C-alpha cells in the first residue's frame, strides 16, 4: 500500500513540476494528476483486507492509465508499454524467478536507452521526460516485485496445503481398502450361517438379521466414503483432464511402501489417461491392492509376484488400460458375481467392493470394463474415450 502511494504521489509531483517549467502543457499536467488520483479509492479496500482479483485489476489499470495518457503527448514514451507487459505478466501469475528476470531485462533496456540518448538532450523538456521515466521505473518495479512476491508466496502456501491434503486423501484410500477386507470375513461367515437358517432359534435368527442390516450399512458407508474422498487425492495442479499412468504408479508405490516388498510392478506405455488424477489413483490402487491380497491368499510357493499394467491408444479414439497378475485369477463363481456387479462372491475372493468402485468410475466416463482369467492370473481391461465426458 505504501509503495502504491509513492507511485501515484510521484505522478502528481512530477506533473506539478512539469506544469511550472513547461507552460505549454498545463492541461496535460492537470489531466495526469486527476487520472493518477483515481487509483486511491480502489486502493483503500486493499488496506483493510487481503488482495482480491477485482481490486487488484482496478489498481493496476489506474496505475497504467497515466502512462498511456502520456503517450498521447510524448511519442516514444515507451515506459507505458513496458509497464503494460509487467502487469499482464503479473496477472498471468508467471513464475517468480521469471518475473525477476523480466524486471532485470526491463531495467537494463531502460538504462541502455537512457545512456544512448543522453548525448542528444535538446532542452529541459527532454530532461523532465527522462527524470519522469526514471522515477516511474524505480517505484513501479518495486511495487510489482512486492505484489508479485506476495502472490508467489501465497501460491507456495496453497501448494503445500493441497499436497498435504492429497497425501491425507491417499492414506484414506488405503485405509478404506483395509476396511473392505475387514468386513468381508464376517459378511461371508454370515452368508454361510444364513444357509442353515432353519436350524436356529427365533432369537438367533433376529440377531443374524440385525447383524446383516448393520453390515449392509457399513458397506454403504464405505461406498460413500470412497466417492467423497477423491477430491482429497488431488491438488490444483493435479486436477486436470488427464493423468499419466507412470506418475500414478510411483505414488502408489510410495503409498503402499512395505506392502509391495517382493513384488515386481511393471508399467508399459506411460501414456496420459483421459481420467482425472484422483480417478486413476482410485482405479489403480484398488487393482493393485486386490492383486496383493490375492497373492497373499495363494498357497502356492515359489510364485512370481508380478503385477503388469500397460496402456495403449486404440482406434477409434479410445485409450486402453490392461491389468494382469499371476495370482491364480478369479474363481468361476467370483467372476460371475463381479460381472453381475454383486458384492459377495465367496470366502477367499473378498467383498467385491473395490471392483464396484472401479465399475462406477468406468460408467461415469462412458468406458468399458472386461474381467477374465488368463495365464494363471486375473486379466482386467478398461477402455475410455480420449475426451472426458
**Under 8 Å between Cβ of 82 and 110:** yes
pLDDT at 225 (0 to 100): 64
Q: How would you classify residue 376: left for phi > 0, otherwise alpha for psi between -120 and 50, otherwise beta? A: left
Query: b/e per residue, 72-104, with b = 16+ CB within 10 A?
Result: eebeebebbebbeebbebbeeeeebeebeebbe
R_g of the chain, CA atoms, integer Å = 33
**Average pLDDT, 10 consecutive residues per value, the chain (389 residues):** 54 58 56 60 54 58 57 48 56 64 71 63 50 63 69 71 66 66 66 67 74 73 60 44 79 78 83 82 86 76 76 83 86 74 49 76 84 85 74
pLDDT at 11 (0 to 100): 58
Residue 273, φ and ψ in degrees, nearest 5 = -95, 135
pLDDT at 323 (0 to 100): 92
pLDDT at 381 (0 to 100): 92
pLDDT at 286 (0 to 100): 85
pLDDT at 275 (0 to 100): 85
Class for domain 241-389, per CATH? Answer: alpha beta
What is the model's pTM?
0.43
∠ at Cα 291 (264, 175), nearest 5°? Answer: 105
pLDDT at 150 (0 to 100): 72
pLDDT at 65 (0 to 100): 60
Which among 296, 290, 328 has a CA at the least distance from the CA of 309? 290
Residue that the C-alpha cell 517382493 belongs to? 262
**Boundaries of every domain in the chain:** 2-159, 241-389
**Under 8 Å between Cβ of 386 and 371:** no
Amino acid at each position: 500500500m505504501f509503495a502504491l502511494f509513492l507511485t501515484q504521489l510521484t505522478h502528481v509531483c512530477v506533473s506539478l513540476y512539469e506544469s511550472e517549467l513547461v507552460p505549454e502543457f498545463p492541461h496535460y499536467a492537470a489531466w495526469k494528476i486527476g487520472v493518477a488520483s483515481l487509483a486511491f479509492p480502489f486502493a483503500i479496500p486493499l488496506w483493510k483486507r487481503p488482495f482480491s482479483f477485482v481490486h487488484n485489476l482496478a489498481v493496476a489499470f489506474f496505475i497504467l492509465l497515466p502512462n498511456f495518457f502520456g503517450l498521447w503527448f510524448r511519442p516514444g514514451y515507451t515506459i507505458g508499454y513496458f509497464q503494460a507487459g509487467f502487469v499482464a505478466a503479473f496477472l498471468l501469475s508467471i513464475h517468480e524467478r521469471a518475473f525477476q528476470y523480466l524486471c532485470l531485462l526491463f531495467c537494463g533496456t531502460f538504462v541502455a536507452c537512457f545512456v544512448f540518448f543522453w548525448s542528444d538532450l535538446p532542452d529541459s523538456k527532454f530532461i523532465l521526460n527522462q527524470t519522469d521515466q526514471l522515477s516511474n521505473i524505480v517505484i513501479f518495479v518495486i511495487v510489482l516485485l512486492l505484489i508479485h512476491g506476495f502472490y508467489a508466496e501465497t501460491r507456495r502456501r496453497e501448494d503445500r496445503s493441497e499436497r498435504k491434503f492429497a497425501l491425507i486423501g491417499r492414506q484414506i484410500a488405503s485405509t478404506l481398502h483395509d476396511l473392505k477386507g475387514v468386513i468381508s470375513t464376517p459378511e461371508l461367515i454370515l452368508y454361510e450361517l444364513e444357509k442353515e437358517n432353519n436350524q436356529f432359534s427365533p432369537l438367533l435368527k433376529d440377531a443374524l438379521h440385525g447383524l446383516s442390516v448393520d453390515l449392509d450399512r457399513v458397506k454403504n458407508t464405505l461406498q460413500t466414503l470412497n466417492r467423497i474422498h477423491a477430491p482429497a487425492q488431488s491438488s490444483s495442479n493435479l486436477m486436470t483432464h488427464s493423468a499419466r499412468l507412470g506418475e500414478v504408479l510411483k505414488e502408489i508405490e510410495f503409498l503402499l511402501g512395505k506392502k509391495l516388498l517382493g513384488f515386481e510392478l511393471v508399467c508399459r506405455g506411460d501414456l496420459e489417461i483421459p481420467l482425472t488424477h484422483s480417478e486413476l489413483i482410485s482405479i489403480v490402487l484398488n487393482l493393485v491392492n486386490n492383486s496383493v491380497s490375492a497373492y497373499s491368499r495363494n498357497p502356492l510357493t515359489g510364485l512370481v509376484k508380478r503385477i503388469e499394467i500397460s496402456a495403449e491408444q486404440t482406434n477409434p479414439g479410445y485409450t486402453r488400460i490392461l491389468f494382469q497378475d499371476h495370482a491364480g485369477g478369479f474363481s468361476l463363481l467370483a467372476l460371475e458375481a463381479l460381472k453381475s456387479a454383486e458384492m459377495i462372491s465367496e470366502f477367499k475372493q473378498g467383498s467385491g467392493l473395490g471392483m464396484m468402485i472401479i465399475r462406477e468410475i468406468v460408467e461415469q466416463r462412458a468406458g468399458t470394463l472386461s474381467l477374465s482369467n488368463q495365464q494363471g492370473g486375473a486379466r482386467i481391461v478398461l477402455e475410455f474415450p480420449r475426451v472426458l465426458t
